[in-house]
Amino acid sequence: MDMIRELHGTNVLICAEDGPQLASERDANDFLGAAWAAEATMVAIPVARLDPAFFQLATRLAGEVAQKFVNYRIRLAVIGDISVQCAGSKALRDFVRESDQGQALWFVRDIAALDARLAA
| Digit-coded pLDDT (tens) for 20-70 | 999 999 999 999 999 999 999 999 999 999 999 999 999 999 999 999 999
Confidence of residue 14 (pLDDT cuts 50, 70, 90): very high
Three-state SS at 64? helix
Confidence of residue 76 (pLDDT cuts 50, 70, 90): very high
Q: What pLDDT is attached to residue 51?
A: 97
Q: Report whether 75 contacts 109 (CB < 8 A).
A: no
Q: What pLDDT is attached to residue 100?
A: 97
Q: Does pTM top 0.85 for this prediction? A: yes
Q: What average pLDDT is seen over the chain?
A: 97
Q: What pLDDT is attached to residue 20?
A: 94
Closest CA to 3 of 41, 44, 32: 44
C-alpha Rg value of the chain to the nearest Å: 13
Other Cβ atoms closer than 10 A to 68: 18
